[in-house]
Amino acid sequence: MVHLKTKEECRLGNETIRVYTVELPSKHAEGILKVIKENIEGQDVIDLQHLRRFAKPKYLPPHWSLPVRKRTEGRPPTLYLLVCPANLISLKDVHDLLLQHPPFCSSADSWAYPLEIKEITVPMLAPTSPEQAAEWSELYWPTFYRKTNPFGAHPSSISKAESELQEPATDNIALPDMMKLAEEAGTATEKLGYGIRTGCVIVERVDDKTEIIAVAGDARLKPLPSETREDASCTSGNVMSHAVMRAVGMIGRKRLRVASSTQARDAFFLDLPLTPLEQQYFERDNLKPDGYLCLKLEIFLTHEPCMMCSMALVHSRVGRVIFEHRMSRTGGLTAEMVRNDTGPVGLGYGLCWRKELNWQFMCWEYTAAEYALREKEKEKARVLNGNDTEGPDEDHPEQNTTTATTICTSNAITGSHDDVNANLGMPSFTSIHV
């Protein structure tokens, strides 16, 4: 189970910036910092609070390969100072500025080494996990994790949700069983010839107790009263009967039944149960009365939902979504457009967490842990290689590689559903809206 990256995390999370650093004796650290703060303008514009301002040599990335110096050589202890972003001032100007002040000015005698300003690459934005901070500290520069994520759900909310989902309290149904139930719902409607084997389960969590309140399979192919044989070949079928739309509809109907005396208007929506499995969960009056839409409910899906269903989940104010198979050509929840940690690259809408919409929810991909791990290793290797060779691409290590290698691996893991190398419009399962 891997939490999806948000649109902003994808766009910004890997951005880097060039900064100047300089080694200096510890006792002059504050003095030089003051000089920098007073003389270099525009430092407030870029927030680099996630980076240590001063770093001891021993905490710098191993690939800096700093010479091991011994105190006995009579050299005072030193620190490395992160001076400022390189785009604020030219190397020559910062050099000239520091030369005017101790310990670098000619009159100072405490510092016997030449002024050496180094330009390095650092992450521009705060890390969103302690692991990321540790990784960046090793790759770039000592980095703090401040337990915040401006680009998505708060890290503590994510870990709370993950522990609730992965370590269910007694009597609560385990995550794998929930995913299996979603699959069974899809299989049930498919067997009747009604749908394409995708399913949705909706769960309400009240005081740590979970209750399955709706189960629905896809029913886009259920023959319509109007349809003649030749029409039935329409591939998208009744778009409104995707599993998510049906399950959300069932919740509405159930609320009407449980919370009020109002009868549901029986317009032609396929949101009444079609299989015994769906009926079994629909007939129980087991949801909290006076609930609102699908506010904070938990959604378990066999597949990443299409744009219509993704936005339906936003409109319904759901709380958590877990899907099994990524739909790289029709899915609306994943945000990656260039490369990603958990599966093939999709359309990049990232509807689960868009600031411009009026609701956001947490979302996980169920079968991706192994893939994520492998990608992380690759990323690490990539950045290390990138830093060894000085080149124009050093700023964007992740752009050095094409997506080709990424895609091959992902196919092996996510299985037969995803033929990412195929073009848009090819008649495979990935081009179906789920």
Partner 1 sequence: MVFGPIPNREYHEGFMRKAIEMAELALSSDETPVGCVFVHDGEVIGRGINGTNASLNGTRHAEFVALAEIMAKHPPSILKDTDLYVTVEPCIMCASALRQFGIRAVYFGCLNDRFGGCGGVMTVHSDPGVDPPYPVYGGLFREEAIMLLRKFYVQENNKAPDPKPKKNRELKTEILPITTPNVATPGGGTPSLELNKPILEKAAVAAKAQITQMK
30 C-beta neighbours (distance < 10 Å), count: 10
| Residue 62: half-sphere exposure toward Cβ, Cα within 13 Å | 7
Is residue 294 exposed (0-12), middle (13-18) or buried (19+ Cβ within 10 Å)?
Answer: buried
Max intra-chain CA distance, the chain: 96
Sheet holding 54-55, edge to edge: 54-55, 78-85, 16-25, 117-123
Euclidean distance between CA atoms 143 and 132, whole angstroms: 9
Tokens at 261, concatenated: 């005396």
Tokens of 2: 């891997």
Q: Map tokens 């495979």 to a residue.
A: 428
Residue 338 Cβ vs partner 1, minimum distance, rounded to whole Å: 10
Spatial contact of 200 and 300, defined as CB atoms under 8 Å apart: yes
Closer by beta carbon to partner 1, 32 or else 347 = 347
Q: How far is it, in rounded angstroms, from Cα 410 to Cα 338?
A: 14
21/334 with CB nearer partner 1: 334
Residue 208 Cβ vs partner 1, minimum distance, rounded to whole Å = 21
Residues 251, 294 contacting (CB under 8 angstroms): yes
Q: Least CB distance from residue 153 to partner 1, whole Å?
A: 10
Distance (Å, whole) CA 372 – CA 353:
20
Partners of residue 298 on adjacent β-strands = 203, 320
Q: Which is nearer to partner 1, 354 or 380 (CB)?
A: 354
Pick the closer one to partner 1 by CB: 60 or 270: 270
Q: How many helices (H) and strands (E) does the chain have?
A: 11, 10
E-assigned strands of 184-339? 199-206, 209-217, 298-303, 320-325
The minimum distance between CB 131 and partner 1, in angstroms, equals 18
Q: How far is the CB of 229 from partner 1 (least distance, A)?
A: 11
User: Which C-beta is closer to partner 1: that of 367 or that of 430?
Assistant: 430
Which one, 172 or 330, has the nearer CB to partner 1? 330
Q: What's the closest the beta carbon of residue 91 comes to partner 1, in angstroms? A: 23
Radius of gyration for the chain, computed over Cα atoms and rounded to the nearest angstrom = 28
Please report how close the Cβ of residue 297 comes to partner 1 at its closest, in angstroms.
12
Q: Which is nearer to partner 1, 267 or 404 (CB)?
A: 267
Q: Pick between residue 56 and residue 147 the one whose CB is nearest to partner 1.
A: 147
> Which residue lies nearer to partner 1 by CB, 25 or 273?
273
CB of 314 to partner 1, least distance (A): 8
The two beta strands, 320-325 and 362-365, are parallel
The two tokens of residue 276 are 């015994």
Nearer Cβ to partner 1 (7/417): 7
Where does residue 42 fall: left (phi above 0), alpha (psi -120 to 50 degrees), or beta otherwise?
left
6's tokens: 């948000």
SS3 362: strand
Cis peptide bond upstream of 103, omega within 30: yes
Instruction: Please identify, using beta-carbon distances, which residue of 28 and 255 lies nearer to partner 1.
Output: 255
Instruction: Provide the 3-class DSSP secondary structure of residue 213.
Output: strand
Contact 223, 312 (CB under 8 A): no
For residue 47, the minimal CB distance to partner 1 (Å) is 5
Minimum CB separation of residue 245 from partner 1 in Å reads: 6
Q: How far is the CB of 202 from partner 1 (least distance, A)?
A: 13
Q: What angle do CA 141, 144, 145 make, to 5 degrees?
A: 135
